[in-house]
Amino acid sequence: MANFAKIENGVVTNIFIAEQSEVDKGTFGDASTIKEWKRDGSIRANPAIISGTYDASKDKFYWPQPHASWTLDSNDQWVPPITKPTDKTKHWYWDEAVYQADNTKGWVEGV
């Protein structure tokens, strides 16, 4: 058994566990729209999640962009435009509205 993702127009619409032979014979639809993945990212870089995207040119899954200002880094992981503060005694969360109002800010101390 393996993990698979159904992809429609580059978007993951379903994830399921099945035997490769069932995928190959079309049990879950057109086999060309189904890609195997692994939870640890060893196949296709990231685990597939519903509403995530699949880039056929890179043969990789991407999680949905968490915030409008975040971009993909060279490892194809979403990163914020400002580095997260290193003070581990505090809880930090990203506030997109704060960043949009002043692009030198964005990390906000939580309670």
CA distance 71 to 65: 8
pLDDT, one tens digit for every residue, the chain (111 residues): 999 999 999 999 999 999 999 999 999 999 999 999 999 988 998 899 999 999 999 999 998 899 999 999 988 889 999 999 999 899 999 999 999 999 999 999 987
| Residue 25: other Cβ atoms inside 10 A | 10
Most distant pair of Cα atoms in the chain: their distance? 54
67-100 CB burial, b ≥16 within 10 A, e <16 = eeebeeeeeeeeebeeeeeeeeeeeeebeeeebe
